[in-house]
Amino acid sequence: MKLTIGFDAKRIVSNATGLGSYGRTLVNDLIRRADDDVDLLLYAPNLGRDDLRQQILINEHVDFRYPQLSIVNSQLSLPFNVDMLIAHTEHQSAHLGITVLTGGLDVLRCQTVA
């Protein structure tokens, strides 16, 4: 059975220290340990910093996802809110059983979408 994990990557591509560093370490550890049945989708509001984004070990099971203009214009207000994208993704993907990891300012939280 295929497992897809969505991760709030805003801090990964924006913050060099703190939650950014923690998120990059966590995602890279998941990439190293995951088998071919696990895909990681890293959701970010923009490309962020190249030097930070390039610290992620990219392979065929890892992909950065950015908001599409149609989603931003029709459903999200600017400045863009990653939590709203995650909520939209949960709503759209609830029937797929996707696990979504989201990171807030103070704590990382994990929730399973049923």
Looking at the structure of the chain, the number of domains it has is 1
Separation CA 53–CA 37 (nearest Å): 23
Full domain range(s) for residue 36:
3-112
Predicted pLDDT of residue 35: 83
Q: What is the CATH number of the domain that holds 30?
A: 3.40.1380
- HEC sequence for the chain: CCEEEEEECHHHHHCCCCHHHHHHHHHHHHHHHCCCCEEEEEECCCCCCHHHHCCCCCCCCEEEECCCHHHHHHHCCCCCCHHHHHHHHHHHHHHHCCEEEEECCCCEEEEECC
pLDDT tens, position by position, for the chain (114 residues)? 889 999 999 999 999 999 999 999 999 999 998 888 899 999 999 999 999 999 999 999 999 999 874 444 444 444 445 555 555 555 544 444 444 444 443 333 334 444
Predicted pLDDT of residue 82: 57
Predicted pLDDT of residue 87: 59
| Pair of tokens at residue 46 | 């923009």
